[in-house]
Chains A and B, each alone.
Chain A
Amino acid sequence: MRKTSIILGLIFAVLAVVLAVLPLYKLAFIPAVLAFIFGIIAFLKSKKEAKPTHVIQVIFLLTIISLGLATYKTIFTVSEVGDTKDLQQTEDKLNEEAKEELDDLIIID
């Protein structure tokens, strides 16, 4: 039980850090919470069995890093549109073409 919790906690903690770095940072909250839960289970078990808690500390550290990063990004990231120069050029080009094509059009309705 203790070992399983440590392994699962570590996997989720690493996953949370990876997701927190990616643009999908909001998803990091799910594995971070799971890692935290498994970390607590492992910590309680270790204390009961009087076994070392070094790895568990790593789990908590990673969880805190991912939660901090994800929270920071959620609050401070402004959704901005990137470079649209190409799109603008396409729009202008298609608009010119449309003008030529529709020039002799007579609306019947």
Chain B
Amino acid sequence: MKFKLTILVTLIALTFSFGQDNNAFKSGEKLVFSASYNMSGILTDIAEVKMEANEMKTSASTLLHLKCTATTYSNFDSFFKIRDLYESYVSPRTVTPYLYNREINEGGYYKYVKYKYNHKANLVESLIRKKSKNFASGFWDRNEKVKINNGTRDIVATIYKIRTLDIKKAPIGASDTFTVLFDNKLTKFSFKLLAKETINTALGKKECYKLAIGAAGTNVLKGNNSNILWLTADENKIPVYAKFKVAVGSGELKIKSATGLKN
């Protein structure tokens, strides 16, 4: 009996680990994108988006530091300067987040958000900091404890988690849902595999998975199937192209370079 139980536990543990392993990215990966905004059908390059993955060693473990930054090009800086930073410290194998930082500077608007995850208690200690003249420090802090579900991630960890999924086994039309913690709210994002397409990118002609992104119960993303992400149909699953439609308009994200790839 004991032997059978051991085998069973080992098998479960094995399937679990095989299903969740990250084979898409590693420390040292750097992806650079160019974001353009669509105005009356004319695309204007406005910002550079970088996605980096680096290793971070603490005294007890090794974490992966996933960092996304958005910076407007210099000719836009005097009009609307954006310096955004989104980062997440995750487990290298399962992309489970442990700490999330978001600092945005958008045309004078400042906001800082920090989430510290407690996966045992399914809780997130959240700190939201905004600029305020009513306080001597110049900042207004709000500390909160947010209840999360199993598998809840922040936006950065979710983007990277999608890359670790075994999309090649999924049939066209398959969809998956992720719970994302954003602004202290749990939002369900769904991803639907629309088709397999070959598109031209800065990295060459690539066969890609075309995924439609939808958000339930929020109006962040507009339109039906107007938010589309193209991931290369190889082991790396690099996000090479994205089309988005938000409240302030529509635009696209195109890859410029990809270095330090895992495969």
- Interface of A toward B, CB cutoff 8 Å: 22-24, 26-27, 29-30, 77, 79-84, 86-87, 90-91, 94-95, 98-99, 101-109
In the bound complex, residues from chain A placing their C-beta under 8 Å from that of B20 are: 109
In the complex, A44 Cα to B101 Cα: how many Å?
A: 63
Q: Does B42 contact A (CB under 8 A)?
A: yes
Q: Which of A27, A84, A105 contacts B71 (CB 8 A)?
A: A84
Given that A30-B40, A104-B59, A106-B60 are contacting pairs, would A87 and B98 also be in contact in the complex, using a CB cutoff of 8 Å?
Answer: no
**Binary interface profile of B, 52-96, with partner A (CB < 8 Å = 1, else 0)?**
000010111101010101011111110101010101010101101
How many whole Å from B107's CB to the nearest CB in chain A? Answer: 14
In the bound complex, residues from chain A placing their C-beta under 8 Å from that of B67 are: 91
Given that A101-B99, A102-B99 are contacting pairs, would A77 and B87 also be in contact in the complex, using a CB cutoff of 8 Å?
Answer: no
In the bound complex, residues from chain A placing their C-beta under 8 Å from that of B58 are: 99, 102-105
| Binding site secondary structure of chain A | loop
In the complex, A105 Cα to B79 Cα: how many Å?
A: 42
Q: Which of A22, A30, A77, A104 contacts B60 (CB 8 A)?
A: A104
Interface pairs A-B: 4 shortest CB-CB: A82-B74, A82-B77, A23-B75, A79-B73
Interface centre among A80, A94, A101 (most CB of B within 10 A): A94
In the bound complex, residues from chain A placing their C-beta under 8 Å from that of B103 are: 90, 94
In the complex, A80 Cα to B47 Cα: how many Å?
A: 9
In the complex, A84 Cα to B50 Cα: how many Å?
A: 13
Please determine whether B40 and A99 come into contact, CB atoms closer than 8 angstroms. no
Q: A94-B87, A103-B60 are in contact. List 8 more A-B contacts (CB 8 A).
A: A22-B79, A23-B75, A81-B73, A82-B81, A90-B85, A91-B67, A102-B98, A102-B99
